[in-house]
Copies of this chain bind each other. A is one copy, B any other.
Amino acid sequence: MEEALGVPARLIRPVRHGNAFEETIERLLQHIKLGLFGVGEKLPAERELSELLGVSRATLRDALAELQKAGYVEVRRGRSGGTYVSEGRLGGLAGSADLDPAEVNDVLTFRAVLEPAASSLAAKAALSPRQRRHLLDALADVAAAPVELYRPKDARFHVAIAEVSGSPSLVAAVADTRARVSDLLDRIPFLEPNLEHSNRQHQEIIDAILRGDADGAYRATQDHLQGTASLLHGFLVSPENSSAAASDVP
């Protein structure tokens, strides 16, 4: 695992991860899967969305056409038409497929760094009434979600916490990492999650944040992540792979 420490090649990452078309599809899919655009809701208009994504309308349209063909969205034209997120079609096909241990460790470690910190920052921030409302809305939303919509609502909830932490970079990192975890979860057989337990933990996190208890929020979030971490680690056979990933960070 540890070849070439310090050799620049190890630290040089690709500037681009595929062409604009592919990256746009991936980004849109990420937003849909993370519940950023709820089922049945409308995406921004093409002209606006292409602007937001920093991509030409032509490229965006190619990507949207692909998503439409795959059944993720429906497109209607005319005034108050637009691109609408389809029902169903969430959470991929629970095919097995091999988890890359390095990817699992990386994403779980990184997430264990980001999310508890986000909760802690949220607790320390002087939250406006709007922000409190936002958190409570997200909490209620995930608590009310049926099992098949749980994952996106859950993701949306955790991103909401990052949103009130005051750092856009942190929000982006949390969203990216959630998407990566989601992709990993799509690759393992579906296990009925313990929604009640999860919701209780969500409540704890929010309670701690709203009463300004940074340490409590940090620890509650840490505990909450543990479940997914163990689940994913359980699907890595080799006992060598466990390492310190997803363990706590003070």
What residues of chain A have their CB less than 8 Å away from a CB belonging to chain B?
2, 5-6, 8-17, 20, 23-24, 27, 31, 36-37, 43-44, 48-49, 52-55, 102, 105-107, 109-110, 113-114, 117-118, 120-121, 124-126, 128, 130-131, 134, 137-138, 159-160, 163-173, 175, 177, 214-215, 218, 243-245, 247, 249-250
Contacts and interface: CB of A to CB of B under 8 A. Distances in A.
Contacts of A9: 44, 48, 52
A117 B113 contact: yes
Contact of A120 (B121, B245, B250): B250
Given A109-B170, A110-B167, A121-B244, A31 B5 contact: no
B5 A131 contact: yes
- The majority secondary structure among interface residues of chain A is helix
Given A12-B31, A113-B121, A2 B130 contact: yes
A57 B177 CA distance: 31
Contacts of A16: 16, 20, 23, 54-55
A105 B249 contact: no
B5 A163 contact: yes
B53 A166 contact: no
B250 A166 contact: no
A17 B40 CA distance: 30
A179 to B, nearest CB: 12
Nearest to A43: B8
A249 B110 contact: no
A235 B173 CA distance: 27
A187 to B, nearest CB: 18
Contacts of A168: 102, 106
Best-buried of A109, A128, A138, A249 by chain B (most CB within 10 Å): A249
B23 A15 contact: yes
A241 to B, nearest CB: 11
Contact of A250 (B8, B11, B24, B250): B250
